[in-house]
Amino acid sequence: MADTGTDTWWRGAAIYQVYLRSFADGNGDGIGDLAGLRARLPYLAELGVDAIWLNPWYPSPMADGGYDVADYRAIDPSFGDLAEAEAYIEEAHALGIRTIIDIVPNHGSDQQDWFVQALAAGPGSAERERFLFCDGREGGLPPNDWQSIFNGPAWTQVADGQWYLHLFAPEQPDFNWRNPEVVEEFHAILRFWLDRGVDGIRIDSAAVLFKDLDCVEESYTDHDDVHEVYRGWRRITDEYEGRFLVGEMWMPDQERFALYLRPDEMQTAFNFDFLSRSWDAAELRASIDLTLTTHVPIGAPPTWVLSNHDVTRPVTKYGRPDTSFSHQDRKHGMQTDPVLGERRARAAALLAMALPGGLYVYQGEELGLPEVEDLPDHLLQDPLWVRSGGTDRGRDGCRVPIPWSGKEPPFGFGAGTPWLPQPADWKNLTVESQQADQNSMLALYRDGLKLRRTHLGDGTLTWMDSAEGVLAFTRESLTCITNLTAGAMNLPPHTEVLLTSAPLEEGKLPTDTTAWLR
């Protein structure tokens, strides 16, 4: 594993994100589960990943794809049970694959025991103090005018007249992090999973835990008090060898972002700036420089992410006109060039693999899966769609189940009908169809991850002089060049080509292509 020591394996790891509902179905009910994941562990070991990050696997009404957690110490029956989760962790460890799980601290589920008790207990009770219940304003108005991230008011009124805060869906009531019971409960949850061999904790919506409810503005992001929470979490994870915290924070202020990565807080955090940049050499270099400037002085390894379960898949994103590029624009029928998108996605993959720090790969990236933009309206389940009145297609298009084999749906995903339908033309994108094709996206990822483990990981980057529209840098024994100009370019003389994202043209590097050299 490309790292600097056992305790810091995550500094240069390649981590594969599994959205469990859509990875592999082991019992034939159309929903991915732990049985399916366990059966596919050899595939991930062969791919060359160091760890798996699992989206929430807890019991949940699935109002938000599992991010509305009803019980933090159990497994949703649709995925399996706790014994099967423990068996999975053990089997993954046997293959050299570590496990990272999602912890969702901002909110729970309206079906969680604590919230049911709070509704029954009434205003002023200790049970309600675990959440953010308030009286409304005159005229039957909510406590303030905050809006939910999922559209609509961030407040819902209950039968006795009080209101509770939910930054996301109404089914996701926010916890009161000024309540010591909440703090202690999550300490116990962390220990519960670390004791079972979990290697890392991904912290969902990490910057929004604290709210000043008397603020007129939507002041619920990045409150100073949140840092003491993560100092407490860090003290716990430091008791377990080789464990780490990775935060999810969408924050444009890099100085504030860096505060979460101080030596006594999180070890890493997702780098959404890189994910958000358009396919432009100056834009990408600016993001790389900004990321390194933020992380290197404080000794924190950067992370590199091209997509996840919340954003448009790279093949579709990079196939859109440069001027209208957006990783979160989900309007129906946007213009996309799939050939251009695949070419740039391949180049972006090799570029991201070559950068110093940790790498996150969302399931299906290694197959070149596009966003499914024509899912029938009646099948869409994302609350972004439900609460937008049909103006936001939501995130279901990047969550369609993985195609494994065969010539027609469900493509080996499982014996039943998948919870979201797969396009018929995915027959050319299955794992089976790409396994033996040395020019496939799967082969590119497999070869790239193998070379990355051998040559790269954590470390330094040195920029090389290059023409406008070209990114060129050295990493230890490897040189990475990405050509974003309109035409082919000459490669440096006397170099060995280790890997390219597209075939060379008479020894020249074509446009929208990345090459690894030495």
Does the global pTM surpass 0.85? yes
Whether 1 shows a pLDDT value over 50: the answer reads no
Instruction: Give whichever of 93-107, 206-220, 292-306 has the largest mean pLDDT.
Output: 93-107
Average pLDDT of 62-82?
Answer: 96
Q: Which residues, other chains included, contact 56 with Cβ-Cβ below 8 Å and sequence gap of 6+? A: 65, 66, 67, 69, 101, 102, 104, 204
Neighbours of 113 (CB within 10 A): 12
pLDDT, tens digit, 9 for 90 and up, residues 438-477: 999 999 999 999 999 988 867 789 999 999 999 999 998 8
Residues in the chain: 518
* φ, ψ of residue 69 in degrees (nearest 5): -90, 130
Whether 325 shows a pLDDT value over 80: the answer reads no
Whether 215 shows a pLDDT value over 80: the answer reads no
Tell me, yes or no, if 204 is annotated catalytic.
yes
Instruction: Please spell the DSSP secondary structure of 411-479, one letter per residue.
Output: TTS-SS--SSPPPGGGGGTSHHHHHT-TTSHHHHHHHHHHHHHHH-SSS--EE----TTEEEEEETTEE
pLDDT, tens digit, 9 for 90 and up, residues 19-42: 999 999 999 999 999 999 999 999
Average pLDDT of 200-210?
Answer: 96
- pLDDT given for residue 371 in this prediction: 95
- H or E segment to which residue 247 belongs: strand 244-247
* φ, ψ of residue 492 in degrees (nearest 5): -60, 145
* φ, ψ of residue 388 in degrees (nearest 5): -95, -5
Whether 214 shows a pLDDT value over 50: the answer reads yes
Neighbours of 511 (CB within 10 A): 17
Tokens representing residue 295 in the block: 């992380």
What distances in angstroms separate CA 66 from CA 20, 160, 172, 206, 244, one per listed residue? 10, 28, 10, 17, 22
- Out of 30-39, 219-228, 286-295, least confident range: 219-228
CA atoms of 284 and 271, how far apart (whole Å) = 13
Alpha helices (runs of H) in 59-179, residue ranges in sequence order = 82-94, 113-121
CA torsion sign for 206, 210, 213, 216 is negative
91, 129, 181, 204: the active-site residue: 204
CA atoms of 259 and 335, how far apart (whole Å) = 40
Unique residue bearing structure tokens 């060995």 = 496
Average pLDDT of 211-226?
Answer: 79
- Residue 293's pLDDT band (boundaries 50, 70, 90)? very high
- pLDDT given for residue 391 in this prediction: 77
- pLDDT given for residue 266 in this prediction: 97
User: Residue 410: helix, strand or coil by DSSP?
Assistant: coil
Tokens representing residue 364 in the block: 């299906």
Average pLDDT of 346-351?
Answer: 98
- H or E segment to which residue 191 belongs: helix 180-194
User: Residue 156: helix, strand or coil by DSSP?
Assistant: strand
Tokens representing residue 172 in the block: 């996701």
Higher-pLDDT residue of 2, 49: 49
Whether 2 shows a pLDDT value over 90: the answer reads no
Beta bridge partners of 304: 359
Q: What domains can you pick out in the chain, each with its CATH number? A: 113-165 (3.90.400.10), 459-517 (2.60.40.1180)
**Please, are residues 483 and 470 in contact by the beta-carbon 8 Å criterion?**
yes
239, 280, 374, 437: the active-site residue: 239
Tell me, yes or no, if 239 is annotated catalytic.
yes
User: Residue 128: helix, strand or coil by DSSP?
Assistant: helix
Unique residue bearing structure tokens 């059966």 = 39
Whether 361 shows a pLDDT value over 70: the answer reads yes
- pLDDT given for residue 323 in this prediction: 43
Q: What is the DSSP letter of 15?
A: E
- pLDDT given for residue 4 in this prediction: 33
- pLDDT given for residue 217 in this prediction: 60
- pLDDT given for residue 328 in this prediction: 55
